[in-house]
Structures are given as C-alpha cells and as structure tokens.
C-alpha cells in the first residue's frame, strides 16, 4: 500500500471520523489501516516496550471508537488528534509506573528503617524460618 500524501491522508481520516462516530465498523477498519503503523511507532518510541505499546494502541483505538464524535476539524488535523490520544495514554502509563516504583521504594525504605530501629525484627523473621526447617530440633536446645 502506497503512503498517501499527508493532506490526502488527513482529508480521508477527517471523512472517516464522523462515520466512526455513527458506529461504522468499515470506516473504523480503514482508519486503523491508515494510522496503526504511525501510532504504534509513536507509542513504542515513548514506552520502549512493544507489549505495552500494543496495549496502549488498543486502548487508544477503543477511545477513538467511543469518542470519534468529539473530534473537531477546526482544532487539529485528524492524525494530530489521534497521535495526541496515544501520546497522552503513554505518558499516563509512564506516570503510573513512576508512582508504583515510588510506592515500592517507600515500602522497602520502611522495612529497612524498621530493621535499623529494631535489629531483632529481622532476627525474629529468621528464627521463624528456622523453626519451620530441619534446624528446629537444634533451636530447641539453644532456647
């Protein structure tokens, strides 16, 4: 399939979006064929993770299916609108990853602080592990 000039592609996309807003699956399939390679490339460039980029792309197309009627020709070109949807979803995912990382780091930090304040806390965990293992008979003689 030859790549259409940008203005031709945007005109075609602008004609497809109102049809998609009415639930036209054929128009949606054509939109996907015309834009998926470009949008996947954008997602992959931001996320650097092929499975995550595929997931974002799927979410973006579901969003387009539900909100195609919200597209306004006067505000942006169709490909710009679609790229913005993908980009924003990618950035949201990166922010969620950062939040998850911060939460994990905070949990690890709390555990370390607890061990530093009470070194026996770590020992109790080790002792409980030994109580369940083959060393149990030896521990009974020590206590």
Query: How far from 105 is each of 62, 91, 119, 125, CA to CA, in Å?
Result: 34, 21, 20, 21
Nearest-angstrom CA–CA distance, 128 and 126: 5
> Confidence band (pLDDT; 50, 70, 90) for 101?
low
> Tell me, what's the pLDDT at 5?
72
Its pTM stands at 0.66
List pLDDT tens digits, range 18-76. Answer: 999 999 999 999 999 999 999 999 999 999 999 999 999 999 999 999 999 999 999 99
* Tokens describing residue 130: 């030994």
> Confidence band (pLDDT; 50, 70, 90) for 103?
low
- In the predicted model, what is the mean pLDDT of the chain? 83
> Tell me, what's the pLDDT at 25?
98
């Amino acid at each position: 399939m030859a790549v259409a000039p940008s203005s031709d592609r945007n005109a075609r996309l602008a004609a497809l979006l109102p049809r998609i807003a009415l639930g036209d699956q054929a128009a949606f399939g054509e939109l996907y064929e015309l834009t998926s390679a470009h949008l996947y490339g954008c997602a992959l460039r931001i996320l650097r993770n092929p499975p995550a980029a595929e997931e974002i792309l799927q979410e973006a197309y579901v969003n387009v299916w539900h909100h195609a009627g919200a597209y306004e020709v006067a505000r942006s070109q169709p490909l710009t609108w679609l790229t913005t949807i993908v980009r924003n979803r990618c950035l949201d995912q990166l922010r969620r990853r950062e939040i998850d990382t911060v939460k994990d780091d905070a949990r690890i930090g709390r555990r370390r602080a607890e061990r530093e304040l009470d070194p026996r806390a770590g020992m109790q965990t080790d002792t409980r592990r030994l109580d369940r293992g083959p060393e149990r008979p030896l521990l009974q003689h020590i206590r």
